[in-house]
Amino acid sequence: MKSVLKLIDRIANRVNISLADLEFEARPIIYNMTKPNKFLKFYAFYGVTDHHPLYFHFSNSSLAGSYFFGKCRVDNSVLYKSDIRGDELKEKGDRFHFHGIDFMIEHDESIHIKDSYLNKTLVHSSSHDPEYPELFLIKNTAASPYSNIHGSPCRGVYMGHFSTADFTVIHDCILDRFAYVQSGTLSHKHIEPGRIWVKSGDDFDFSYNFPTEVIDKYISFEPGHKPEGIFMDFITEKRKAFQRIFDVIHIKPHENVPSGTAISRYSVIRGKCHFEDNVLVAQRAYLENAWLGKGANAQENCFIVKSRLEGYNVTAHGAKIIYTQLGKNVFVGFNSFLRGKFDTFVEGKLACPLVIGESSIVMPHTIIDLEEPVTIPPKHLVWGYITNKRDLKKHSIPLEKLADISDGISLGAMKFSGSGKLFVDTFKNRITKILEQNGAHFKDKKLKGHAQKGRNISYNIIQPYSKGPRKGLYPTMDISV
């Protein structure tokens, strides 16, 4: 494994150089992310459909357990059980809009991961860097497990456990554990653990900080040690269920899948699950006794356990929904953790659940972990840490009331400034686009999205050198049409 260890050392040095101003030391984190012998345990794989361009290039890299789709290039990097989805990249001829400037994309966009270590990381969407619209670049970056790099080019970045960079161009920054940022551009910043920050120029600014004791309870981490907390305990309990999908190459497809619905071969479906039309269940999603209504989706690294989603629900990457009932059109943001109070689960309904009314928006990185049953009314924005009805009053607001705000508001630890209407409209438009992209409204061969385009996806596996000086590395290869 000498070549792999040499590669890891190279990456650590480059991350350290990028983050020298922030006095960051990458080695204790990177060296302890994954034991090198695990790089031989899982094959990498890529998806092929006639709806997406096919081009992959891999050189001097280790890719264990990782999934690739679309156009991707990986050089001098280590990827472990990461998902690199290039199915929403810009294509030649598309129009790109930025601050009143409109121009045509000259060639198909690609994801390029260079000198980086991504561990159980999701990379998705298209680049939001206006200077390089055809290149989604991740360079000199280390990402800890269950982090999301969503439309966010990263150069010299450390992503902590369960952190999310969303539609943000990031240079030389630290996003600490469970931090979420969507702010356009970010450079030379340390976003502290549990900070949730959504900013759009001078239009609006939403900010919330979790109490330190709450973050430590759900995800704590010291370099050189394993991460701990409720999030890790929950995932560890379910982790063994994923073993079989990598141990067995030829798994029978799920039976009786409705029209327009796609359930990934690399997802886990347990117990009695119900799926209606146009449902999307992505790879590495975990469903147990779950009811998904028409047009609902469960994206990568989602867990839906003993819960009911009425339809047209968006469960964003990494979200967890347990003992919960969601009305129609409810959005649950990245890495949110929703756990109702368990009593009984009969005929797809809970007696004492967390209930979220239709058309509500659960902000990314929200934690609702109940001590008593709670019902969130329809059309509300929800954020922060909620355990009971009293907490809900300080961590929610009707969307209509928020839309009327034109200057600012503070509610508990949440601070908002700018136009509430623009904030609400931006979220609603994004949810509409996600449902369209996922094919939630597919009918009569029209309005196809990921669910329909991915129904007939085929998977091909690739494996590393098993012996010799390159043990653990994958051969240099180009895969294209």
Instruction: State the DSSP string of 150-219.
Output: ES--EEEEEE-TT-EEESEEEEEEEE-TT-EEE-EEEES-EE-TTEEEEEETTTEEEEEE--HHHHHHH-
Q: Are residues 142 and 266 in the same domain?
A: no
Residue 62 domain flag: yes
Residue ranges making up the domain that contains 417? 239-453
Residues of the chain with pLDDT under 70: 249-250, 343-352
Residue 247 domain flag: yes
What rounded mean pLDDT belongs to the chain?
Answer: 94
Total structural domains within the chain? 2
Q: What per-residue confidence (pLDDT) applies to 136?
A: 98
Residue the block writes with tokens 């494996």: 463
Q: Are residues 356 and 474 in the same domain?
A: no
Q: Are residues 297 and 371 in the same domain?
A: yes
Residue 217 domain flag: no
Q: Are residues 262 and 367 in the same domain?
A: yes
Residue the block writes with tokens 């009305």: 327
Q: Are residues 192 and 326 in the same domain?
A: no
Q: Are residues 174 and 41 in the same domain?
A: yes
Q: Cα(296)–Cα(359) distance, rounded to whole angstroms?
A: 13
Q: What per-residue confidence (pLDDT) applies to 255?
A: 75
Q: Are residues 49 and 150 in the same domain?
A: yes
Type of residue found at 217: K
> For 446, which DSSP code?
B
Report pTM: 0.96
Residue 230 domain flag: no
Task: Count Cβ neighbours within 10 Å for each residue of 64-76 and write b for 16 or more, e otherwise.
Answer: bbbbbbbbbbbbb
Q: Cα(120)–Cα(83) distance, rounded to whole angstroms?
A: 7
Looking up residue 420, the CATH number of its domain turns out to be 2.160.10.10
Residue 255: exposure state from Cβ atoms within 10 A (0-12, 13-18, ≥19): exposed
Q: What per-residue confidence (pLDDT) applies to 352?
A: 58
Q: What per-residue confidence (pLDDT) applies to 246?
A: 78
Q: Cα(259)–Cα(455) distance, rounded to whole angstroms?
A: 10
Residue 129 domain flag: yes
Q: What per-residue confidence (pLDDT) applies to 185?
A: 95
Q: Are residues 470 and 434 in the same domain?
A: no
